Structure 1
């Protein structure tokens, strides 16, 4: 059609110009100029019409121009069922037919809730899981486990963390009647448990030995020191003494009072995973739905103390330096905003980009970056340098300078990352966003996987959403530009509380390195 217009335009304008005394070559130049301008207008009009069609497509595809928090939530009941009973008790059923069947009782109570009695939650865990504790069936716990074909200590376990306690039954038979019998143990722990006074001293001794021996295992020693220094304000050795002294004095009445204070349905959840037998949801409702709901305190979330550095030692020739960047504690409003998914997606992108940036600089013999979300969003980078190797620039202090230079660069300049929004045409980006928005608004998340960090237990403990991972990530992939991610990175680093964990060889002098690290923290 355009060629026809050019032909007729050329013919018509030749006749027009021939009526005037205008040289032929000038006539042709003017005609070509008119044709060029006309063609340019047509191309721009075509681009406008394509963009306009995309906008109309967006309106037709999406219910509205914005997404609600609820649109991101995973509701694919063929994979995951999340429910809340009338008494506040929650449950997750995660169906994975090729995985072993197991169940866990989660309790929102941990070391942060110990208050003036450190280790009381830990000792209560021992007492609720002790072999000789009488249970409602008339058996002791170990007797009942044997009836179920489970060995005490292998098919049943318990754990206490900073913000939760967990009681696990695993490697179970995928049979409904068997599941009913197993669930009786966890239901009885959740409400109405009797603490076995006869086992108190034996379990106290076991727990004290466990706490004392943790100082000989680096990871365990670091975990304890991290809690003591950054949450309670003690030096590592002082904190260990506080733990041990408190554990020696805890009484039966204190344990019973602690249990009555915290063990209520609104602080509890049953997590069932693996090859789950059909009908398990009815059993959960029957076992836990009758537990009375009574007023209970909200779980304790401790903020950081003013201490920001921890020095540990190990029998290695390497130095390990971990930097933790932690944003302020998330409010409930922030956890239930669509922007939560945007920020979490951006955090994952930052983690990847930071990993690449460190790799390019080649100043560490080994490194790892990782992101986490719990009561807050966090980013961690761990660097290792072998002191037996020749380090560029002059040893360990130069290594610390390289880490500091990296952080200062990221704080000021962010990270380099390209997103589809930076390379694709606006119309294509708009159309892709509309298509994904439609899936988020209308779909239940079928085909989406569970995020490896935001697992159901984490979601329950910290009141976080189980979300449509692939759909959400696809949406923000097209919504955010590289500059958006980089700006978020700068904002994240600048707003974060920074803590440092440094692990040195036993014989390495500490003074100079701590002075340099303190200077970095002050800056």
Structure 2
């Protein structure tokens, strides 16, 4: 009770904290303010006063791609263990406090980051800071908690991957599409590693990576940046920084050559096809104009019912029952430009030929001005609609910062998309969508051959 009373005593600080001085580590662009605590912790604040709510997120620069064989899945496992309590807030108390205050909380692990969040009334932000700062340095790991969470994660893996043909196919295809990188293994980890990860492994992971110098605190909502700075200093400023291990993954790999996976699954009902080109991300590209051109190219192919894949493969030739494309440039390593197709009549080869023909057409001829305008309008409309969410604003900042794109990229998106020309789209297709950058994955029912 004393701890909770201390929290409530600081609630007025949100509205009354003094402004911080700009020491060169702090800057403001638009309504986003960044500053750095003395222990190296980055803090980003996006003010949005439309509703009296706040989103608080702590992002750690570590995810499944940092793992080695033998401990795959450890980043996700520690995410589970972070809810097992500290001496000050035993297991269950963290969630109970947030719930009693009318808030919500959760966490997620990706290839490049692990993040924890609370959504609360704006004047309850100190509660989130108190809880997160405590488990950043005082997490208690026990054998009993590990045994419980290990079984939870194994069941989660069964539901996601082991018991689903698409899950089994996806894991195998990722290994083929991302050779030599931490993206080749699943975020949840391989089953044998999940079973063998020890308490010492988890303690080491926690001590190595969960340092304030390896974390970014994102706050979005009805707050004042200087007040958030004062609170961050109060709760996180005294946590000592620890040395973070060196990351040895190269940012860019030479093209691996065309790779091909034929996977037959006893439970598969229909064939599926995936194509994945190794292309730059925000973090690895030399010229960021290429990223925006690849985003536009993806929207040309799969940006609604008027896009090329739906218009030409599904409704036109009817070679595919479904087809799509996607590109997410927020990755610390290379990104994937992906296409998929489900044959309308089981003819996998015909769908693969049709998808490859679409790529060839983008190289051979400029897209039309009508297509360019439609894709641009859709991307910008989607972006602005998503930014209407305070939670999504925080998510975007966290993903950009932890993948190496930089939080300022959020401010550049609209101009970047607006500047893309038809020539830019043709250029990135010619330079990046090449056979030597391509992985092809085909899942077939057990009785079906590839050429049927």
> What TM-score do the two structures reach when normalised by structure 1?
0.63
Confirm or deny that 1:466 pairs with 2:424.
no
The alpha-carbon deviation at position 140 of structure 1 amounts to 0.4
| Structure 2 residue 388 is matched with structure 1 residue 413 | no
Find out whether 1:457 has 2:417 as its counterpart. Answer: no
> 1:482 maps to what in 2?
422
> What RMSD over aligned residues (CA atoms) do the two structures have, in Å?
4.2
State the SS of the aligned residue for 2:99: coil
1:103 matched to 2:56? The reply is: yes
Determine the structure 1 residue equivalent to 2:276.
324
C-alpha displacement of 1:331: 6.1
TM-score scaled to structure 2, two decimals? 0.72
**Closer, same or farther: CA 111–155 of 1 in aligned 2, 3 Å:** same
In the other structure, the counterpart of 1:23 is: none
Q: 1:382 is matched with which residue: 340, 345, 356? A: 340
- CA–CA separation in structure 2 for the residues paired with 1:284 and 1:310: 52
Which ranges in structure 1 are unaligned for 5 or more consecutive residues?
1-72, 389-394, 422-447, 514-523
Corresponding residue SS for 1:149: helix
Separation of aligned partners in 2, 1:321 and 1:193: 44
CA deviation vs aligned residue, 1:221-277 (integer Å, no higher than 9, x gap): 45544444444679xxx9899822222222222221222222222321122234447
Distance in 1 between residues matched to 2:76 and 2:417, nearest whole Å: 41
1:122-141 correspondence runs (5 A): 122-130=76-84, 133-135=85-87, 137=88, 139-141=89-91
Q: CA deviation at 1:220?
A: 4.8
Number of residue-to-residue matches in the alignment: 391
Q: Distance in 2 between matches of 1:498 and 1:74?
A: 41
Task: Identify the match of residue 131 of structure 2 among 171, 178, 185.
Answer: 185
Q: Does 1:245 align with 2:192?
A: yes
Q: Following the alignment from structure 1 to structure 2, what is the Cα–Cα distance between the partners of residues 119 and 274?
A: 33
Deviation at 1:148, TM superposition (A): 4.0
User: Is the helix fraction higher in 1 or 2?
Assistant: 1
User: For residues 210 and 378 of structure 1, do their structure 2 counterparts lie closer, same or farther at Cα, with a shift above 3 Å needed?
Assistant: closer
SS of match in other structure, 1:199: helix
Partner of 1:500: 440
Equivalent residue for 1:81, pick from 33, 51, 55: 33
| Corresponding residue number in structure 1 for 2:149 | 203
Aligned-pair CA distance for 1:507: 4.8
Deviations 1:162-198 (Å, cap 9, x if unpaired)? Answer: 222122223x1221xx321222221123234332333
Where does 1:267-346 land on structure 2 (aligned, <5 Å)?
267-276=214-223, 279-299=227-247, 301=249, 308-309=260-261, 311=263, 313=265, 318-327=270-279, 334=285, 339-340=287-288, 342-346=289-293
SS in 2 for 1:186: helix
Residues 154-169 of structure 1: matches in 2 within 5 Å? Answer: 155-169=104-118
Alignment-derived partner of residue 379 in structure 2: none
Q: Output the CA distance in 1 between the equivalents of 2:412 and 2:74.
A: 43
For 2:35 and 2:43, how far apart are their aligned partners in 1? 5
Paired with 1:298 and 1:450, the residues of 2 have a C-alpha distance of: 37
Q: Which residue of structure 2 aligns with residue 63 of structure 1?
A: none
Q: Is the 8 A contact 1:74 1:466 kept in 2?
A: no
- Once residues 239 and 450 of structure 1 are traced to their aligned partners in structure 2, the CA distance between those partners, rounded to angstroms, is 32
What is the distance in 1 between the residues matched to 2:416 and 2:348? 43
- Contact 1:327–1:492 (CA under 8 A) maintained in structure 2: yes
Kept in 1: contact 2:64–2:187 (CA 8 A): no
Matching of residue 121 in structure 1 with residue 75 in structure 2: yes
Deviations 1:136-163 (A, max 9, x none): x2x30412432443599x9332322222
Q: Give the distance between the partners of 1:120 and 1:460, measured in 2 at CA.
A: 22
**Kept after mapping to 2: 8 A contact 1:327/1:495:** no
* Structure of larger gyration radius: 1
Q: Distance in 2 between matches of 1:106 and 1:469?
A: 17
Measured in 1, the distance between the counterparts of 2:166 and 2:47 equals 32
2:301 corresponding residue in structure 1: 354
Q: Supply the distance in 2 between the matched residues of 1:275 and 1:508 (Cα, whole angstroms).
A: 59
Map 1:24-63; keep pairs closer than 5 Å: none
Q: 1:298 to 1:185 in 2, by over 3 A?
A: farther
1:509 aligned residue:
448
Q: Note closer, same or farther for the CA distance 1:320–1:158 as it changes in structure 2 (3 Å cut).
A: same
Q: CA deviation at 1:76?
A: 0.6
Q: 2:315 aligned with 1:369, yes or no?
A: no
Mapped to 1, the partners of 2:324 and 2:156 lie a distance apart of 29
* CA–CA distance in structure 2, aligned partners of residues 494 and 450 of structure 1: 37
Q: Check conservation: 1:327, 1:496, Cα contact below 8 A.
A: no
CA contact (8 A) 1:98 1:274 kept: yes
Partner of 2:10: none
Verify: 1:173 aligned to 2:129, yes or no. no
CA distance in structure 2 between the partners assigned to 1:242 and 1:286 by the alignment: 37
